[in-house]
């Protein structure tokens, strides 16, 4: 069976099914993350998201889940917000690691998730002047990115970008394998080349196989705005234990690598979706009177300062 699938996969490659390459969990990965999240939105969250989405989304957050990749080069400052690198160690430390190449603090995927979550908290109290449509599209994308293990990788190899490998016969790099190739191979081999079939399989596991674990995924005891620190710590661990493990320059990766890594990829997509919904539901939750008063007094304070 395995061999047959492999053979079919090769045939498809030989037939020249040219697949356009993309940045960061490819389009499919981000699409699935946002689709999973959307189904878990509360009523209030659904309404707020609909209100903020641009016309072009047609009411579907998943349609703009890759927007942040599309504007990455127009908004050059946003490029470092897609990832964070460590100095070659298998742990994450915010004050050591979260900065851009100029050393400016907070300019990494963890800082960005905190940033855009904070901005969205001003929804309907907004005096911030931020474009909350962009805040929402950034947040949805970055919660996806931070769950792709190699978006929390080593600085020296740029999260696997400089590690050239062959994915079966095709020359690519390790980062791209994790963004796109593993998902594409799974789609071809198991899911009829249909992202919605893959999505259904992952969703089934969320309510079934992983149901007991979901509570732990949502556990968040940080003092910071979000639990993005925790997601980053998980990703660098997975990078060391799975992504980088037994990989060297010019290696050919095939069935052994694919079959042992695909469960990690599918679970990370599920976790990202569940957590995106959790953050969005929290941001747009019904607030008590006291909280509203607090926000009001902050606002008055700001006005007073001006």
Ligand X SMILES: *[C@@H]1O[C@H](CO)[C@@H](O)[C@H](O)[C@H]1NC(C)=O
Per-residue burial over 257-278, b = 16 or more CB atoms within 10 Å of its CB, e = otherwise: bbeebbebbbbbbbbbbbbbbb
Q: How far is the CB of 293 from ligand X (least distance, A)?
A: 27
Provide, rounded to whole angstroms, the least separation between the CB of residue 211 and ligand X: 11
- Other C-beta atoms lying within 10 Å of the C-beta of residue 41: 19
**Full 3-state SS string of 8-42:** HHHHHHHCCCCCCCCCCCCHHHHHHHHHHHHCCCC
Question: Phi-psi category of 288—alpha, beta or left, where left has phi over 0 and alpha has psi -120 to 50?
Answer: beta
Would you give the binding string for ligand X spanning residues 117-146, x where CB under 6 A is met? -------------xx-xx------------
Nearer to ligand X, 193 or 297 (CB): 193
Q: Which is nearer to ligand X, 97 or 172 (CB)?
A: 97
- Could you say whether residue 111 binds ligand X (CB under 6 A)? yes
Question: Rounded to 5 degrees, what angle do the CA atoms 99, 279, 133 make?
Answer: 75
222 belongs to the binding site for ligand X (CB under 6 A): no
Select from 36, 49, 62, 81 the one that contacts ligand X (CB under 6 A). 81
Return the number of the residue (54 or 59) whose C-beta is nearest ligand X.
54
CA atoms within 13 A on the CB side of 255: 10
Is residue 107 a contact point for ligand X (CB under 6 A)?
Answer: yes
Q: Which of 57, 112, 139, 165 binds ligand X (CB under 6 A)?
A: 112
Least CB distance from residue 273 to ligand X, whole Å? 12
Q: Describe the chain by its helix, strand, coil percentages, rounded to 5.
A: 60, 5, 35
263 contacts ligand X (rule: CB under 6 A): yes
Please measure the distance between the N-terminal and C-terminal CA atoms of the chain and give it in whole angstroms: 70
Phi/psi of residue 152, nearest 5 degrees = -125, 75
CA distance 44 to 51: 11
For ligand X, give the closer residue by CB, 170 or 263.
Answer: 263
Cβ proximity to ligand X: between 49 and 163 the closer is 49
Question: Phi-psi category of 88—alpha, beta or left, where left has phi over 0 and alpha has psi -120 to 50?
Answer: left
Q: Residue 209 interacts with ligand X (CB under 6 A)? A: yes
- Separation in Å, CA 273 to CA 17, 29, 45, 266, 270: 29, 10, 14, 11, 5
Do residues 153 and 236 lie in contact, with contact meaning Cβ atoms separated by under 8 Å? yes
Question: Do residues 51 and 59 lie in contact, with contact meaning Cβ atoms separated by under 8 Å?
Answer: no
Site map 139..178 versus ligand X, x via CB under 6 A: ----------------------------------------
Q: Using the rule CB under 6 A, which residue among 49, 53, 266, 284 binds ligand X?
A: 266
Binding characters for ligand X, 17-56, by CB under 6 A (x = yes): -------------------------------------x--
Question: Closest CB to ligand X among 59 and 263?
Answer: 263
* Contact (Cβ atoms closer than 8 angstroms) between residue 174 and residue 160: yes
Contact stretch for ligand X (CB under 6 A) within 4-12, 109-117, 165-173, 272-280: 109-117
- Contact track, ligand X, 186-205, x by CB under 6 A: ---------------xx--x
Chain residues in the site for ligand X (CB under 6 A)? 54, 77, 81, 93, 95-96, 106-107, 111-112, 115, 130-131, 133-134, 201-202, 205, 209, 263, 266
């Amino acid at each position: 069976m395995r061999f047959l699938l492999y053979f079919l996969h090769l045939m498809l490659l030989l037939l020249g099914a040219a697949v356009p390459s993309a940045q960061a969990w490819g389009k499919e990965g981000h699409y699935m993350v946002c689709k999973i999240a959307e189904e878990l939105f509360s009523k209030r969250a659904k309404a707020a998201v609909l209100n903020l989405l641009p016309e072009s989304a047609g009411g579907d957050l998943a349609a703009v889940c890759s927007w942040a990749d599309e504007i990455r080069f127009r908004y050059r400052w946003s490029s470092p917000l897609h990832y964070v690198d460590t100095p070659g160690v298998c742990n994450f430390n915010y004050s050591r690691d979260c900065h851009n190449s100029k050393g400016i603090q907070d300019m990494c995927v963890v800082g960005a998730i905190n940033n855009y979550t904070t901005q969205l908290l001003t929804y309907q109290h907004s005096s911030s002047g931020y474009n909350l449509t962009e805040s929402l599209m950034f947040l949805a994308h970055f919660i996806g990115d931070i769950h792709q293990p190699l978006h929390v990788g080593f600085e020296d190899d740029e999260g696997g970008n400089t590690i050239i490998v062959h994915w079966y016969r095709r020359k690519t790099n390790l980062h791209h394998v994790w963004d796109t190739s593993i998902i594409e191979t799974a789609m071809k081999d198991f899911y009829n080349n249909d992202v919605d079939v893959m999505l259904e399989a992952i969703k089934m596991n969320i309510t079934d196989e992983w149901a007991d674990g979901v509570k732990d995924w949502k556990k968040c005891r940080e003092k910071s705005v979000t639990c993005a620190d925790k997601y980053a710590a998980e990703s660098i661990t997975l990078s060391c234990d799975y992504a980088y493990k037994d990989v060297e320059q010019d290696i050919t990766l095939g069935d052994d690598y694919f079959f042992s890594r695909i469960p990690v990829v599918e679970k990370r997509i599920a976790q990202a979706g569940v957590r995106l919904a959790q953050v969005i539901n929290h941001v747009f939750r019904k607030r008590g009177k006291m909280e509203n008063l607090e926000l009001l007094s902050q606002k008055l304070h700001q006005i007073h300062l001006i």
